[in-house]
Amino acid sequence: MALALPEPGLTDGVITIRHLADRDAEDYATGTTDEAVRRFAHLPSPRYTPQLVREQISGVIADGLRRGNLAVLAIANTADDRFLGSITLFDIQHDSAEVGFWLAPHARGLGATQRALDLITAWAPTHGIATLRARTEQDNTASQRTLERAGFHLVDGPTEHLAPSGDTITGLTYELPTPRSH
């Protein structure tokens, strides 16, 4: 099942979750150079350029959305559509998916990640996802607090696991059952 969002995306009036677009490439690439993003996001590529981001949007990201096994999405400010960060669904298995997220430095401390998680949690059941999983490094207390505020519960850890970057990290695993779709 494809993982298409409704147009213009999911919104709560403050932030919008939408498909990544070419206009996001510069801000996405810049955001991935931030020390906290590099340390904790464990992105699949070691270095992002705007051109690489554009290639991924039209390639691997579009393919994943079409196949229903990967959704790399933008978190944007609803008022001006400014790119704030990214939220991703991956490792989609049967009725569960892992969620990962990162924010650019200018977007932190505004509650954008929690809002994004709330929107994804409400949308996921419409695509058969009954449980969201999230893993975070043991030292990433900001993400742990965000997940807990969003209703995720610690289910395992600390354990070693393979991150999307290919690195083995010691992390904590959280889960959240999504509301039933109607």
Task: Report if pTM > 0.85.
Answer: yes
pLDDT mean across residues, the chain? 92
Q: For residue 181, is pLDDT > 90?
A: no
pLDDT 10s digits, 95-151 = 999 999 999 999 998 899 999 999 999 999 988 899 999 999 989 999 999 999 999
Pairing of β 96-103 and β 131-137: parallel
Burial of 22 (0-12, 13-18, 19+ CB in 10 A): exposed
- Walk me through the domains of the chain, giving residue ranges and CATH numbers: 10-177 (3.40.630.30)
pLDDT 10s digits, 51-82 = 999 999 999 999 999 998 999 999 999 999 99
Token pair of 163 as six digits? 């991150």
Cα 142 from Cα 51, distance rounded (Å): 30
**Residues 6 or more apart whose Cβ sits within 8 Å of residue 154:** 148, 172, 173, 174
pLDDT 10s digits, 137-160 = 989 999 999 999 999 999 988 888
